[in-house]
Amino acid sequence: MATARSFWKGHLRLALVTIPIRLVSATASEDKIALHQVDKKSKQRIRYQKVAGETGKVVPQSDIVQGYELDDGNYVLFEPDELDKLKLSTRHTVELTEFVEACSIDPLYFDNPYYVLPDGDVAEEGYRIIRDALRATKKYGVGQLTMRGRENLIAMKPSGDGLMIETLRYASEVRDADEIFDGIGNEKLRPELIDMAKQLINERTRKFNPADFKNHYAEALRKLVKEKVEGGLSTEVSGGEEQPSGGTVIDFMEALRRSTGKSTSKPAASKTKTAASRQKREPVKRAPAKTPKKKSRARG
């Protein structure tokens, strides 16, 4: 069985049967490119800080608590341990309380998918029994699960050789379609126009394969980044990540860093180095600043 990082561990319960399970994210984020905001004049990262509303004072994480706003504008505050003490049976257990036809859940309610794995060899037999029973009956198991501070409605279904949980939106989180589409007319349409549309749909109908579709924007952005790196147009930016590093700072996938031969693992700049020595390291195509650059550690 392939190893994958799990972010939740607990138990799956069906009546009197309980087996240990763990959840693994079913989606990957490798294709996403992270762009950061940078002040183009000072070449410093734009940072968002947690500050007190009126004083503007930066508040340390240890002093931040959760608050519920009342109708009169006042707040009820909660210490972390108060929220942790809330007794929810779904915090460590997924209990399948009912079963529904696989096609009876509107796709609008589906939210995020997670793979379910048996946690340990002794759990595999019970896991496979539930998987095969759901597959044979063509049913989804419905229950609730608490993770990341929220109790989620979930549906469990077979997925390949395993099981998958999909979090569902609650009814209160879905807007009424009738209200949204209320202004769309219901007048009878010309039959020949509908026939032409049906013919077009039939001609282009095929089995869905997500691999046929590419993220053209991401590919174009990677190409642009690579061109700028190879053209020496990367620049030093201060105020980046906390770990010390020096030289070029470009935020894109590690694979692209390797493919262009660039790395952010250069030694950090010494505090004793002067502004003049720092300027020598800057790319040759960068225009000289009008004012001397303040001494600061390079950030990766």
Same structural domain for residues 157 and 256? no
Mean pLDDT over each residue of the chain, to the nearest integer: 77
137 and 257 both lie in a single domain: no
Are the C-beta atoms of residues 104 and 121 closer than 8 Å to each other? no
Least confident of 149-158, 178-187, 281-290: 281-290
Q: Choose the final residue of a domain: 172, 204, 226.
A: 172
- Band of pLDDT at residue 163, cut at 50, 70 and 90: very high
Is residue 138 domain-shared with residue 258, that is, in the same domain? no
293 in a domain, yes or no?
no
User: Would you state the pLDDT for residue 38?
Assistant: 87
Look at strands 8-14 and 93-101 and give their pairing: parallel
Burial of 154 (C-beta count, 10 Å sphere; 0-12/13-18/19+): buried
Give the pLDDT mean for 76-98.
Answer: 77
Structure confidence at residue 2 as a pLDDT band (50, 70, 90): low
CA–CA separation, 99 and 234 (whole Å): 56
| 259 and 162 belong to one structural domain | no
What percent of the chain shows pLDDT beyond 70? Answer: 74
Spell out where the chain has E strands: 8-14, 17-25, 38-39, 44-45, 66-69, 75-78, 93-101, 110-118, 139-147, 150-159, 162-168
The answer to whether residues 125 and 15 belong to one domain is yes
What CATH number is given to the structural domain containing 141? Answer: 2.40.290.10
Residue 11 clears pLDDT 70, i.e. is over it: yes
Residue ending a domain, among 112, 145, 172, is 172
Residues spanned by the domain of 143? 8-30+86-172
Q: What is the pLDDT of residue 278?
A: 45
- Counting the structural domains of the chain, the total is 2
Predicted TM-score (pTM) of this structure: 0.60
Indicate whether 128 and 228 sit together in one domain: no
Between 125 and 216, the higher pLDDT residue: 125
Per-residue pLDDT at 90: 57
Residues facing 147 on adjacent strands: 150
In tens, the pLDDT along 232-270 reads 877 777 765 544 333 333 333 444 455 555 444 444 444
Rounded Cα–Cα distance for residues 272 and 198 (Å): 74
In a domain, 74, yes or no: no
pLDDT of residue 275: 44
What value does the mean pLDDT take over residues 116-120? Answer: 91
CB under 8 Å to 169, separation ≥6 — which residues? 108, 109, 110, 111, 153
- Write the secondary structure of 134-194 as one string of H (helix), E (strand) and C (coil): HHHHCEEEEEEEEECCEEEEEEEEEECCEEEEEEECCHHHCCCHHHHCCCCCCCCCCHHHH
Q: What CA–CA distance (Å, rounded) separates 146 from 8?
A: 10
Amino acid type, 44 = Q
Q: Which residues make Cβ contacts (< 8 Å) with residue 261, sequence separation at least 6?
A: none
- Can you give the pLDDT at residue 87? 59
Q: Are residues 250 and 128 in the same domain?
A: no
Count of CA atoms in the C-beta half-sphere (13 A) of 28: 3
Distances (CA, A) of 251 to 33, 199, 200, 222, 235: 8, 47, 43, 11, 11
According to the model, what pLDDT value does residue 216 have? 80
Q: What is the b/e burial string over 249-281, where b = at least 16 CB atoms within 10 angstroms of the residue's CB? A: bbbbbeebbeebebebeeeebeeeeeeeebeee
Is the domain of 156 the same as that of 23?
yes
Q: Does residue 141 fall inside a structural domain?
A: yes
| 299 vs 199, more confident | 199
Neighbours of 123 (CB within 10 A): 18
Is 225 found in the same domain as 102? Answer: no
- Does 48 reside within a domain? no
Q: Which of 31-45, 109-123, 212-226, 285-299 has the lowest mean pLDDT?
A: 285-299
pLDDT band with cut points at 50, 70 and 90 for residue 228: confident
**Does 238 share its domain with 116?**
no
Q: Tell me: pLDDT of 226 over 90.
A: no
Residue 264 confidence (pLDDT): 47
Residues 24 and 130 in one domain: yes
* pLDDT confidence bin for 52, thresholds 50/70/90: confident
